[in-house]
Chains A and B, each alone.
Chain A
Amino acid sequence: MFEKEIRRKAKELLEAKTVDLVIGYTSGSLPFQARPILVSSPEDVGKLVWNHFARSNLARYLLPYRDSSKKIALLAKGCDARAVAVLLQEEQFPRERIHIIGLPCPGVISRRKLEEKLGEIKEEDFSWEENSFLFQGEKWEVRPFLEDTCARCRYPNPPLYDELIGEEKEPWRDGSVDYLKELDNQSREERWQFFAAELSRCIRCYACRNACPLCYCKECFAESDSPRWVNGVPTLSDNLFFHLGRSMHLAGRCVECGACERACPEEIKIGLLPLKVEEIVRENFSFEAGLSLEEEAPLLTYKESDPGEFIK
């Protein structure tokens, strides 16, 4: 799966000093997991891997270098590249210090789904292809094992890159967002019950915020002392406040990567709120984040014809 090409490219860039740092994935300490790695020397490029377990959004790891002078190469799946595009547009990083190596994404596989369907699994029982895998000699399609966010992904190909490794892929799905549809079909009270049950499990560890490539405020409203918006104790009302506030802050910015959902230790479907906001923005202001560097963010602009029937 293009691992060799990625390593070769990283080595070439580091040796030529085109970049000082390559941000990519390496094997995690647990099986079926890849974790982010920062490679700064050409000898270490062997540590880079590229597989179905690239869970985190690497754009998150750019921002610590905002005020340095380092040039950075970033391996970017569709959603990582979209997040980078939003960061560039918001002037959080200079374009000339970043080299985007685009990787059409084969989809991230959920370890939980593997275990649910295959029982006990060991890494050595698998051999991986792009769209399928062999498990104990038996062939399986990748698709039913994809993370929820990846199963509904519309942009596996990076919209922005300096070079592309691999071939452009067809999206897994063409824009249908099933969980949202399911919830849309429920009554308002049912939805409330669903979210109340889900979010009362939230322990407000802020892992979702920390995994989000676009939640980059130095001081988050959730931890601000003055004004104090919410208390530290994870009560339902404050959990709702935090997630509603976060969703509003992501309005017109969320790139639907699902990093928040995957980071959640309680496996709460916290991605649904930002996703709904994204849908509202898409349907009413015909805008999708991270696809172009020119188009203005929807909440930073307006039209006289915007919907206004809800105002008396």
Chain B
Amino acid sequence: MKNDWEPKIVAFLCHWCSYAGADLAGISRIQYPPNIRVIRVPCSGAVNPLYILKALREGADGVLVSGCHPGDCHYLSGNYFARRKFFVLHQLLQWLGIEENRVQFSWVSASEGQKFSQVVEETVEKVKKLGPAQKLVKEFTFHV
């Protein structure tokens, strides 16, 4: 591992809360590490577990999924369904031997710019401790 290694983290942010939270952090000029690559999704419930696996397969060092707090989902219950799904995935990945902090989850509301920056800081820090991802990364690329 080179000393100047910086993790790449794919962040799936829900349109209604976490994405707006990230926006607020930006508007308020709150600083947070530039390691995340944001993908906006309609709802945390719309995040297919395969997206997370795919991100890791394509070489992401970490994945962050963030949505509205329980009870605040724009679609009323999307994040509750997401919670069950992610719980199963999280447990399964850990059991398989994937590091616990490779895939992280959070609830960030549209008014929590500060929390968003904290969440990103924590996420990046934890992934940095783990070092570059190796376990689910694809072995080679086809050039078609």
Contact = CB atoms under 8 A, between A and B. Distances in A.
Interface of A: 183-184, 188-189, 191-193, 195, 221, 229-231, 235-238, 240-241, 244-245, 247-248, 251, 273, 276-277, 280-281, 284-285, 298-300, 302-304, 306-308, 310-312
Interface residues of B, number: 39
A312 B107 contact: yes
B83 A285 contact: no
8 contacts: A193-B97, A195-B97, A235-B140, A241-B57, A251-B88, A308-B87, A310-B90, A312-B107
Contacts of B139: 235-237
SS of B interface (majority): helix
Contacts of B49: 245, 248
Contacts of B122: 312
A221 B70 CA distance: 30
Contact of B50 (A184, A229, A238, A304): A229
A281 B107 CA distance: 23
B87 A188 contact: no
Given A188-B97, A192-B97, A237 B92 contact: no
Given A238-B138, A240-B136, A241-B136, A299 B107 contact: no
B35 interface: no
Interface string B85-100: 1111111111111100
Contacts of A273: 92, 96
Q: Residue among A184, A192, A193 with the most chain B CB within 10 A? A: A192
Interface of B: 49-50, 53-54, 57, 70-71, 77, 80-81, 83-98, 104-107, 119, 122, 135-140, 142
Contacts of B95: 183-184, 188, 191, 276
A306 B50 contact: no
Contact of B104 (A189, A277, A312): A312
Contacts of A303: 80
Contact of A244 (B53, B70, B142): B53
A302 B77 contact: yes
Contacts of B97: 188-189, 191-193, 195
A189 B134 CA distance: 13
A247 B91 CA distance: 12
B89 A312 contact: no
Contacts of B71: 304
B87 A310 contact: yes
